[in-house]
């Protein structure tokens, strides 16, 4: 069966994340719903991985298989005509049989956006940022340096996953100005991420920025591999999946 590869952008605000769950609307569910209408049968969509409820994507990647008779449907146009405005198919093309949206991933990049203007949050940006105040960005940069590299990131994995190995290689975390002058974007690229790992790393960095932890506290937390010793998870809405690399 021909395999179709999708690149999908979405605003995650009103979804229960990427993956179909018992209840609530999901991105995967919305796409499968439209595919079922086009194909007249269930077509399973495989994403590169889950994104949490409220997390956004500029370029999530997914694939699905279709009967030979459906091979030449213009999937991008067909799906975009049916999907709501907060989900958009950027590209749809036929992939090799051995391409798998999840198992073929080489690395992923996420962006986490902080809003630093304490008096207000611009409503145009509110769904995409975490409002914080009074952060020491130099201390955060020092903490970020400790996190980069190949480590056991168990201290940054939330419960509720069956993944065994927790060693990942995190590229240097890059901090850059965002769309609005009140924004700072932190970019995280790794060969894989544990459950809520970016949000847990960001939670740690902000705690350092607030002075609740010193940069020197980061290595013991990382090496302790104990989630309970690390700061709280950052909110979902500041997180965007930017790119999946194969």
- Known catalytic residues are 52
Shortest distance in whole angstroms from residue 19 CB to its own copies: 18
Interface with its own copies, residue 158, by CB under 8 A: no
Shortest distance in whole angstroms from residue 1 CB to its own copies: 25
Q: Per CB under 8 A, which region of 85-93, 94-102, 141-149, 225-233 contacts its own copies?
A: 85-93
Q: Are 186 and 112 in contact (CB under 8 A)?
A: yes
Interface with its own copies, residue 90, by CB under 8 A: yes
Between CA 38 and CA 238 the distance in angstroms is 34
Residue with Cβ nearer its own copies (87 or 140): 87
Instruction: Check whether 246 is labelled as a binding-site residue.
Output: no
- Interacting residue with its own copies among 4, 5, 6, 11 (CB under 8 A): 11
Stated as kind and residue range, the H or E segment containing 146 is helix 137-147
Q: Which residue has the tokens 């790119």?
A: 243
Interface with its own copies, residue 128, by CB under 8 A: yes
3-state secondary structure 22-73: CCCCCHHHHHHHHHHHHHCCCCCCEECCCCCCCCEEEEEEEEEECCHHHCCC
Q: Are 64 and 53 in contact (CB under 8 A)?
A: no
Give the β-pairing of 167-170 and 149-152: antiparallel
The total number of residues written for the chain in this structure: 246
Interface with its own copies, residue 109, by CB under 8 A: no
Interface with its own copies, residue 14, by CB under 8 A: no
Interface with its own copies, residue 124, by CB under 8 A: yes
Residue with Cβ nearer its own copies (55 or 213): 55
Locate 116 and state its tokens. 């630093």
Residue with Cβ nearer its own copies (119 or 164): 119
Between CA 88 and CA 81 the distance in angstroms is 9
- Interacting residue with its own copies among 4, 5, 10, 112 (CB under 8 A): 10
Q: Which amino acids are annotated as binding site for substrate, given as ranges?
A: 110
Site residues (CB under 8 A) for its own copies? Answer: 9-11, 56, 58, 76, 80, 85-91, 119-124, 126-128, 179
Show binding-site residues: 110
């Amino acid at each position: 069966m021909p395999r179709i590869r999708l690149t999908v952008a979405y605003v995650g605000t009103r979804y229960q994340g990427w993956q179909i769950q018992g209840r609530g609307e999901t991105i995967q569910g919305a796409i499968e719903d439209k595919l079922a209408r086009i194909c007249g049968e269930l077509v399973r969509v495989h994403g590169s991985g889950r994104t949490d409820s409220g997390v956004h994507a500029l370029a999530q990647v997914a694939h699905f298989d279709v009967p030979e008779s459906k091979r030449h449907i213009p999937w991008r146009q067909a799906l975009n005509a049916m999907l709501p405005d907060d989900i958009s198919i950027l590209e749809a093309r036929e992939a090799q049989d051995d391409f798998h949206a999840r198992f073929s991933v080489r690395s992923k990049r996420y962006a986490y956006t902080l809003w630093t203007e304490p008096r207000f949050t611009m409503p145009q940006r509110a769904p995409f940022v975490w409002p914080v105040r009074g952060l020491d960005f130099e201390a955060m940069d020092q903490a970020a340096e400790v996190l980069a590299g190949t480590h056991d990131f168990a201290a940054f994995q939330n419960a509720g996953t069956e993944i065994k190995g927790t060693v990942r290689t995190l590229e240097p975390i890059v901090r850059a100005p965002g769309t609005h002058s009140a924004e700072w974007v932190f970019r995280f690229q790794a060969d894989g991420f544990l459950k809520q790992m970016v949000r847990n790393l960001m939670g740690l960095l902000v705690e350092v920025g607030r002075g609740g932890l010193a940069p020197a506290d980061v290595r013991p937390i990382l090496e302790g591999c104990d989630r309970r010793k690390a700061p709280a998870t950052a909110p979902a809405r500041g997180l965007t999946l930017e790119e999946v690399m194969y």
